Amino acid sequence: MKNEKINAVQVWKQMEDLLAPQLNFSLADRVIYSHLFRHSRLEGKQQLQFSISWLARGVGLSSKFTRDTVRRLIARGVLRLVECNCRSQHVVRVRLPLEVKGICAEKIAAHRPAPALRVVINIEEADFLEKQFLRLAIHEREGGRCFYCSRRITRHRRCLDHVVPRAELGQNSYRNLVSCCLDCNSLKAERPAVEFVRWLYRERRLSDAELSGRLRALDHLAAGKLIPPLPGLAAAATERKAKDL
């Protein structure tokens, strides 16, 4: 059979919070269930063949007490007996807590992992200064480099800059915000971005190729081609990016 990927921590929580309280597990019930789970489902085995003597040695209980506990777990539906032969070999399937009949449905629902929320962003209307994950997306888009001078920057030396200054009605749009170093942010001030990158070139902080690249990047930014990496982007924005590129 195909192996199952088991979350051992989740199963243990479900056993302690659901299975054990609702079925009044004794300490022996817990120990034997955990031991059989360890040697079967946790290793991807749907069924486990064992002898009572092997199980008794493994859990440190007497053979009689172990046999009685196994019978009790079978009767409660925690173990499903597949085979029991004359050589005292048992073949069982260890049911996970949520597979056992009689567990309260409401409590089961409370212990199921909540589905991940899918946030849909209308990228053209989003304020990219409003939330941290939107601000981080702008930084990620630039790949750890200053948008203006192309130098590597750390997260402690970076900031967001309005290409069109706020004083000139520049918006908090992904088309108008870039990640840059603190030096460029200070030097640029209220200057237009094109004028600033040309100044960097005149100051020999940009090569010919870098100047061309920065001017082209400014055009792409204004055209909406530099889309930050965000989950759940509106489909129209994603399709437009593919078409434009």
Q: Among 6-20, 141-155, 168-182, whose mean pLDDT is lowest?
A: 6-20
Considering the chain, what is the average pLDDT of its residues?
Answer: 85
How would residue 226 be classed by pLDDT, with cut points 50, 70 and 90?
Answer: very high
Phi and psi torsions of 220, nearest 5°: -65, -40
Residue 241 near residue 227 (C-beta atoms within 8 A): yes
- Rounded to whole angstroms, the Cα distance separating 205 from 198 reads 10
**3-class DSSP state of 185:** helix
Task: Report which of 4, 39, 31 is spatially closest to residue 15, judged by C-alpha positions.
Answer: 31
Q: Kindly state the average pLDDT of the residues 71-94.
A: 87
Task: Report which of 16, 44, 53, 49 is spatially closest to residue 31, judged by C-alpha positions.
Answer: 16
How would residue 12 be classed by pLDDT, with cut points 50, 70 and 90?
Answer: confident
Residue 112 pLDDT: 56
Structural domains for the chain: 8-111 (1.10.10.10), 132-244 (1.10.30)
Q: Kindly state the average pLDDT of the residues 21-50.
A: 91
Residue 109 near residue 69 (C-beta atoms within 8 A): no
Residue 189 pLDDT: 87
**3-class DSSP state of 191:** coil
Q: Kindly state the average pLDDT of the residues 165-183.
A: 91
pTM for the model = 0.49
Q: Kindly state the average pLDDT of the residues 225-232.
A: 83
Residue 175 pLDDT: 95
Residue 209 pLDDT: 94
